[in-house]
């Protein structure tokens, strides 16, 4: 059995599924607008990768770039314009935003029906309540998809999520405890104030590291046979690495995601799926929906 979960290969399969479905549906095809503020090199590179994936699957993408001196009201005006444009199915504001722009105000200004990132409070609320028909944030959705497509049992397992961000930790907790396939886990969310983290971590069947600290999860924190999912991305002189000390942890884990090539490509694959979903809701009478 191969313990390495190949996110790149799974994402490639999903890209192909999305491409085929877009071809089958026909019509104008889905379109996604990216709003990029400032000159954060990591954000620029993520948006480039997302745009490339759109182009390869038949999604039209629009990029609006703004200087870091952009006024919040001008960003709000652009979001309003895109909300009113019937040819746009998805709007993505790349985060982080410059500190003087109020992220919450921006997220609230998005049209929830075009919020393919799932960050609008209405979509976050739908996820919390288990209501279908919203959008689920791409990284948590990608993690669930990785687990499902790798035939990893989630139901009844103890899932520990390290990190409580709005982008990953909080929505992933809601997703893994949902009463449905890919859910029913016993979820713990740990963070920088958690005490006895190592002992909590050693009781986890499924450990998801989304802390943003390079090599934070070490072998002492992992139970033998646990499934380890690494959400971190850190650029260093030795290349890209994650929140997990891969060399130390891999021998203990039953399954583990690499960095790069694990969760990252799945985030992009889920963005394509969410954009397709938005398009289907817009152009089809009965989209056969399963998020
Ligand atoms: N910054 C880091 N991850 C994400 C993401 O999934 N979506 C957006 N919009 N910004 C991000």
Catalytic center residues:
50, 94, 117
pLDDT, position 2: 78
Q: Is the CB of 165 inside a 6 Å radius of any atom of ligand 1? A: no
The secondary structure element, H or E, covering residue 148 is: helix 138-149
Domains and CATH numbers, the chain: 27-111 (3.40.50.10860), 138-264 (3.40.50.720)
Query: Distance (Å, rounded) from C-alpha 116 to C-alpha 60?
Result: 14
Does the C-beta of 94 come closer than 6 Å to ligand 1? yes
- Strand-pair category, 227-230 with 234-236: unpaired
pLDDT below 50 — which residues of the chain? Answer: none
Give the containing element (helix H, strand E) for 249.
Answer: helix 246-249
Report how far ligand 1's centroid is from the alpha carbon of 95 (Å).
5
pLDDT in tens, 55-83: 999 999 999 999 999 999 999 999 999 99
For ligand 1, what atom is nearest to the CA of residue 139? Answer: 6
Phi-psi region of 30 (alpha: psi -120 to 50; beta: other; left: phi over 0): beta
Report which secondary-structure segment, H or E, holds 123. Answer: helix 121-129
DSSP β-bridge partners for residue 160: 188, 207
Q: Does ligand 1 have an atom closer than 6 angstroms to the CB of 256?
A: no
Q: Is the CB of 267 under 6 A from ligand 1?
A: yes
Q: What is the pTM of this model?
A: 0.97
The pLDDT of residue 255 is 98
Spatial separation of the C-alpha atoms in residues 37 and 71, rounded to whole Å: 10
Mutate to test the pocket of ligand 1, among 167, 170, 233 (most ligand atoms within 8 A of CB): 167
């Amino acid at each position: 059995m191969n313990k390495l979960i190949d996110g790149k290969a799974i994402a490639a399969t999903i890209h192909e599924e999305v491409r085929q479905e877009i071809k089958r549906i026909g019509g104008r095809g889905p379109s996604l607008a990216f709003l990029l503020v400032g000159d954060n090199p990591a954000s620029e590179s993520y948006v480039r990768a997302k745009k490339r994936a759109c182009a390869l699957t038949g999604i039209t993408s629009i990029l609006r770039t703004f200087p870091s001196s952009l006024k919040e009201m001008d960003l709000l005006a652009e979001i309003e314009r895109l909300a009113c444009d019937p040819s746009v199915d998805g709007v993505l504001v790349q985060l982080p935003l410059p500190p003087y722009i109020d992220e919450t105000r921006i997220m609230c200004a998005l049209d929830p029906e075009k919020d393919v990132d799932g960050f609008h409070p209405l979509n976050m609320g739908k996820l919390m309540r288990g209501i279908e028909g919203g959008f689920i944030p791409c990284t948590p959705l990608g993690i669930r998809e990785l687990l499902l497509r790798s035939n990893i049992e989630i139901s009844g397992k103890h899932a520990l999520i390290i990190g409580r961000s709005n982008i990953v930790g909080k929505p992933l907790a809601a997703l893994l405890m949902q009463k449905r396939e890919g859910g029913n886990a016993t979820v713990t969310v740990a963070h920088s104030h958690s005490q006895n983290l190592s002992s909590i971590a050693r009781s986890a069947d499924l450990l998801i590291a989304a802390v943003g600290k390079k090599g934070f999860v070490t072998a002492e924190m992992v139970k033998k046979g646990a499934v380890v999912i690494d959400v971190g991305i850190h650029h260093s002189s030795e290349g890209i690495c994650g929140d997990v000390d891969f060399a130390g942890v891999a021998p203990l884990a039953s399954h583990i995601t690499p960095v790069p090539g694990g969760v990252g490509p799945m985030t992009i694959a889920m963005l394509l799926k969410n954009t397709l979903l938005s398009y289907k809701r817009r152009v089809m009478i009965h989209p056969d929906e399963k998020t």
